[in-house]
A and B are shown apart, each in its own frame.
Chain A
Amino acid sequence: MTFYTFKRVAFTLLFLSVFSFSFASNSKDSDSEKEFDAKEMIMHHVKDAYGMHLFDYNGHSYSIPLPIILYTDKGLTTFMSSEFHHDYNGEVIVEKNGQRFVNIHEKIYKLNDGETAVTYDAEHHPTNAERPWDFSITRNVFMMWVSVVVLLLIFLTAARRYKKSGDYVPKGIASFVEPLVVFVRDEIAKPMIGEHKYKRFMPYLLTVFFFIWINNIFGLIPFFNGANLSGNIAFTFALALCTFLITTFSGNKNYWKHIFWMPGVPVPMKIFLMPIEIVGMFVKPISLMIRLFANITAGHIIILALMSLIFIFQTIAVAPVSVGFALFIGIIEIVVTAIQAYIFTVLSALYFGMAVEDAH
């Protein structure tokens, strides 16, 4: 019965939204005060930012300020991101140590000496300002620390429980963690690397799995305002670099032989395969990097694009459709958070397995 109720409600909503949509497109008002730019809004959400923007209320923005740390030729300069007053169009100028800084699309520029306003060239690049060395605690860095703290809390609590009880029966949070750890060991590490050699790689695989997963989940929580950490190419680059370094340094004689002098094929083929294998060595981590980055970023963009349909059509009538689809994509994204963490870990384990494989 509940299923039929649900079905009826869903169909009613669908019909209502279709009808009101057709009305809405007729009654669309032409004199809106400000054109809504979906692309700019989405890009602003997906990219890194100085300060955690929380919400707007009565035309006033509320956000958590984060420290900006810059290194210029005059030494270290620090101030809080609130001094920009939520401006990212390069209009508010912050003066510190006799230097002027502006925030242009979430990038800090230092104005050249004596300049008081930013000038742009045809492609909207500033002409009289340069980027200083930037070590700021941006919202991505902040979220990374939050996730590190959360992971430490979870795993230290779980470890302490095992130590205390002594009988290795998982209790409390440990009963949540243990199946996941066992899953990584039995379904990822053992089949991919091999029964005898997997132990060496377990710490890295577990770290990567849980770190990516928790950051994917944090990216979906609206309050953190899409701190899109695992959809940041620098973050995925660092993880892929770790996988690359571990693969390269744990590669045995056999692994290098397969790259430089493929056994079991004729000599012309060996010469032909060598450059391909060398390129493949670098392509593997690069594809890891792009896969995670693009999957998570695409998920964020789709949800935001569906939501901005309401503002593009400028009517609340599209809202049921938008919210419905965004909810649907959101549920898929929850699955994707786990799948992407799994895929990254599996592929890392696969590459480690190739590196330590015995001759056969």
Chain B
Amino acid sequence: MTITGIAAIGAGLAAIGAGMGIGRIGGSAMDAMARQPEIQGKIQTSALILAAFVEAVALFGVVAALIVK
């Protein structure tokens, strides 16, 4: 297996991790919104910000895979 293939697998693993993370954030945010619809806006904002933090880790994986030739 070439180094590019390994890098691609690594990027895929990072995507799995980020998917799980964002899924948990989204699920919990939905739960919280159902419990307290009156602060829906605030929950949405922080859910988006947290999703951005988690997603950044997956994107580090993508960038690493792009850099490896």
Binding site for B on A (CB under 8 A): 187, 191, 287, 290-291, 293-295, 297-298, 339, 342-343, 346-347, 350
CB of B63 within 8 A of CB of A291, answer: no
CB of B62 within 8 A of CB of A294, answer: yes
CB of B63 within 8 A of CB of A342, answer: no
**A187, B48: Cα distance in complex, Å:** 13
Q: How many whole Å from A118's CB to the nearest CB in chain B? A: 20
Q: How many whole Å from B19's CB to the nearest CB in chain A? A: 14
| Cβ of B13 under 8 Å from chain A | no
CB of A290 within 8 A of CB of B63, answer: yes
CB of B62 within 8 A of CB of A291, answer: no
Chain A residue nearest to B59 (CB atoms) is A294
**A116, B52: Cα distance in complex, Å:** 51
**A293, B41: Cα distance in complex, Å:** 27
Chain B 54-68, CB within 8 Å of chain A: the 1/0 string? 011001101100100
Chain B 24-56, CB within 8 Å of chain A: the 1/0 string? 000000000000000001000100110011011
**A350, B53: Cα distance in complex, Å:** 13
Interface SS of chain A: helix
CB of A347 within 8 A of CB of B52, answer: yes
- Known A-B contacts A287-B56, A291-B55, A291-B56; the reply to A350 vs B62 at CB < 8 A is no
CB of B60 within 8 A of CB of A342, answer: no
CB of B48 within 8 A of CB of A294, answer: no
**A346, B41: Cα distance in complex, Å:** 14
CB of A347 within 8 A of CB of B49, answer: yes
CB of A291 within 8 A of CB of B52, answer: yes
Chain B residue nearest to A340 (CB atoms) is B52
**A350, B50: Cα distance in complex, Å:** 12
Q: How many whole Å from B21's CB to the nearest CB in chain A? A: 14
Q: How many whole Å from A172's CB to the nearest CB in chain B? A: 29
Q: How many whole Å from A95's CB to the nearest CB in chain B? A: 32
Residues in A whose Cβ lies below 8 Å from that of B60: 290, 294
Chain A residue nearest to B63 (CB atoms) is A294
CB of A350 within 8 A of CB of B59, answer: no
**A191, B49: Cα distance in complex, Å:** 13
CB of B49 within 8 A of CB of A346, answer: yes
**A236, B8: Cα distance in complex, Å:** 24
**A287, B56: Cα distance in complex, Å:** 7
Q: How many whole Å from A183's CB to the nearest CB in chain B? A: 11
Q: How many whole Å from B34's CB to the nearest CB in chain A? A: 22
Residues in A whose Cβ lies below 8 Å from that of B52: 291, 343, 347
Of the A-B pairs whose beta carbons lie under 8 Å apart in the complex, a sample of 21, sorted by A's number, is A187-B41, A187-B45, A287-B53, A290-B56, A290-B59, A291-B52, A291-B55, A294-B59, A294-B60, A294-B62, A295-B55, A295-B59, A297-B66, A298-B59, A339-B48, A343-B48, A343-B49, A343-B52, A346-B48, A347-B49, A350-B49
Residues in B whose Cβ lies below 8 Å from that of A297: 66
**A298, B56: Cα distance in complex, Å:** 12
Residues in B whose Cβ lies below 8 Å from that of A293: 63
Q: How many whole Å from A192's CB to the nearest CB in chain B? A: 9
**A217, B20: Cα distance in complex, Å:** 29
CB of A291 within 8 A of CB of B59, answer: yes
**A298, B66: Cα distance in complex, Å:** 10
Residues in A whose Cβ lies below 8 Å from that of B48: 339, 342-343, 346
